[in-house]
Amino acid sequence: MSTVQPNNPLHGLSLETILTRLVGHYGWDDLGEIIDIRCFNHEPSIKSSLKFLRKTPWARQKVEDLYLATEF
């Protein structure tokens, strides 16, 4: 069964892609100011941030919301 999500703008985007684009656009310093979570402010890396975001729904939601609000 195929799951079609016509109203989901994040459909088809991995969390890694979203985070990589945000880091490329804002950089770690600005991203850490916008979303004040430790994984963005203390020795940030894509790998450690992904690990945290996958376990923490409220933080992942903030990242997804910022991605949707950002004009690339």
Domain spans of the chain?
20-69
Question: Which 3 state secondary structure label does DSSP give 13?
Answer: coil
Q: Kindly report the CATH number that applies to the domain delimited by 20-69.
A: 1.10.720.30
Span 40-64, pLDDT tens digits: 999 999 999 999 999 999 999 999 9
What DSSP string describes 29-72? HHHHHHS--HHHHSS--HHHHHHHHHH-HHHHHHHHHHHHH---
- Work out the pLDDT band at 5, boundaries 50, 70, 90: confident
pTM to 2 decimal places: 0.89
